[in-house]
Amino acid sequence: MNENITKPLGFGEILDQTFRIIKSNFKSLFMITFLVMVPIFALQAFILSLIGRDLIVSGDSGQNLIDQLLTSAESVTSTSFQEDLLTGFVNILILFATPVLAGAITWAVKYAREGNNLIAIKMIRKALPRYWPLLGSTLLFSLILFGLLLLSFMAIALISVPLMMMDMPIIGFGIIMLFSLGVFIGVGLLIIRWSLYIPAVLFDKVAPGLGKSWQLTKKQTWKFFGLMIVLLIISTIISSILQLPLFFLGNSVLFHLLTNIISLISSIVFTVGYAVMYLDASVRQEGTDLKEMIKEYEVTEES
């Protein structure tokens, strides 16, 4: 697949290339996510078994189908303090593993676009030299994201309280919804402008990469915003469909392990699309830079 690496892609073309890369290289892409994330999930499963969680199925085998589903759903949503601590610990480990995973998949997408063969361990090794800049940039981006979301919720709360005390609650609710939508779009567009920091740190050797990402997303913010939403929806649908049968397992160790493995599949869709967006933005910027150089040369020649 190297016919479209030198020309800018449209909205649909980015999605098409994303799924063609996944279809042609799914085994290698899954192996990358497996090698990076499964050790963390295995540790989670081991700790869950130590704190007394059922290994295979959680629930009463004598219950009928409906009761089993209700019991399983309740056991999944209700967690103990120990499990909440474990979830927080696992999320921290995932945060530290994300730069390697995203970097390796981005390298894999670059190789796939150029028509090269993908070797999972090789892609991981290519991402490792930039691990610390990637991790620092990820932590900074996470803090910025947390701050933006916190300010957004505070702004919505400050607007909501006086409006809900009005004599016309329907109008107040409508205003709150419109304001919330505006905040969501505004924050989302701002996040998109900084979102390509990982491949920028990886390929352009800059850190934290937020400035480079801001340049790359110029005049493409709305397109990338729409693409991110579409990819998120597709990933969520895939994950939900595959996880639905697992509710019969209840809140068992096997349920958590299989749920995490399924999440790897949905993460591949999002991360590959993310990498294609960056590579497309790079092609567009190179074309813009070339045009500016030509214009400067023509002006110099005329003078």
- Residue range 252-290, pLDDT digits in tens: 778 878 888 888 888 899 999 999 999 988 887 765 555
Q: Report residue 245's pLDDT band, with 50, 70 and 90 as the boundaries.
A: confident
- Longest pairwise C-alpha distance within the chain: 90
Average pLDDT rounded to a whole number, residues 7-11: 80
Burial of 302 (0-12, 13-18, 19+ CB in 10 A): exposed
Residue of 2, 253, 217, 131 lying closest to 261 (CA atoms): 253
- Residue range 234-244, pLDDT digits in tens: 988 988 888 88
- Residue range 32-54, pLDDT digits in tens: 999 998 888 888 888 877 777 77
pTM score, whole prediction: 0.81
What is the Cβ-side half-sphere exposure of residue 136, based on CA atoms within 13 angstroms?
A: 9
Question: Domain limits of the chain?
Answer: 11-302
